[in-house]
Chains A and B, each alone.
Chain A
Amino acid sequence: KTQVEQSPQSLVVRQGENCVLQCNYSVTPDNHLRWFKQDTGKGLVSLTVLVDQKDKTSNGRYSATLDKDAKHSTLHITATLLDDTATYICVVGENTNTGKLTFGDGTVLTVKP
């Protein structure tokens, strides 16, 4: 059973456009949620982490929201650049000493000129 579902699976936008990525999860407990960016063939780079019951974060052109009641998160990317082309992965961290993480399959974003 998929515990972290991301949508859309893939997305194509024009440079300069905004986009929104969705993450729904059923992981319990949900201590925190992170968004990672993974360039093709590379490792994962953390974009932001959300912790509070209803949380918002901003990191340059990336902003994210979390609603733990709805078990839902969004990642907004404004004024997309060609370098934003990557897979964006939603990850839920459990509230245990292990810090166990559950990963979504990712949304593949392609930014075209």
Chain B
Amino acid sequence: EAAVTQSPRNKVAVTGGKVTLSCNQTNNHNNMYWYRQDTGHGLRLIHYSYGAGSTEKGDIPDGYKASRPSQENFSLILELATPSQTSVYFCASGQTGHEVFFGKGTRLTVV
């Protein structure tokens, strides 16, 4: 069964600290995505990737980096976390025209 696994599921970070959110997919999908979901906003795309070694900026990339070291793994990196980055983050994998699968989300709180 298709699966997207995010870790950690919950994280509390201090302002200015580095945070890495991890995502693993077993779907052999080329495309992977990182979104954030905030009250009053739909999911917004931060970064995405076409495949291993590629990362592309989404609609709100500022303050975030991404890394796709392999087909299965896609990480979101906050080098200097800020309280405005407190949110719920979702990872997804998919192929154009095919199903897309989401992880269960990571709740990040930056204090």
Task: State whether A97 touches B96 (Cβ < 8 A).
Answer: yes
Chain A residues with Cβ under 8 A from B44's Cβ?
103
* Chain A: interface residue total (CB-CB under 8 A): 27
Write the residues of chain A forming the contact surface with B, with a CB cutoff of 8 angstroms: 4, 31-32, 34, 36, 41-46, 49, 51, 89, 93, 95-106
Min distance, Cβ B44 to any Cβ of chain A, angstroms? 8
Write the residues of chain B forming the contact surface with A, with a CB cutoff of 8 angstroms: 31, 33, 35, 40-45, 48, 50, 56, 58, 90, 94-97, 99-105
Nearest residue, chain A, Cβ from B90 = A43
Given A31-B96, A32-B97, A89-B42 in contact, is the A101-B33 Cβ separation under 8 Å? yes
Task: State whether B42 touches A42 (Cβ < 8 A).
Answer: no
Task: State whether A101 touches B100 (Cβ < 8 A).
Answer: yes
Task: State whether B100 touches A43 (Cβ < 8 A).
Answer: no
Task: State whether B105 touches A103 (Cβ < 8 A).
Answer: no
Given A4-B42, A103-B43, A105-B41 in contact, is the A44-B90 Cβ separation under 8 Å? yes
Task: State whether B97 touches A106 (Cβ < 8 A).
Answer: no
Task: State whether A99 touches B103 (Cβ < 8 A).
Answer: no
Chain A residues with Cβ under 8 A from B45's Cβ?
100-101
Q: CB within 8 A of B50: which of A4, A98, A102?
A: A98
A-B contact pairs, 28 of them (CB 8 A): A4-B42, A31-B96, A31-B97, A34-B100, A42-B104, A43-B90, A43-B103, A43-B104, A43-B105, A44-B43, A44-B90, A44-B102, A45-B102, A46-B99, A46-B100, A46-B101, A93-B96, A97-B96, A98-B96, A99-B31, A99-B94, A99-B95, A99-B96, A99-B100, A100-B45, A100-B58, A102-B42, A103-B42
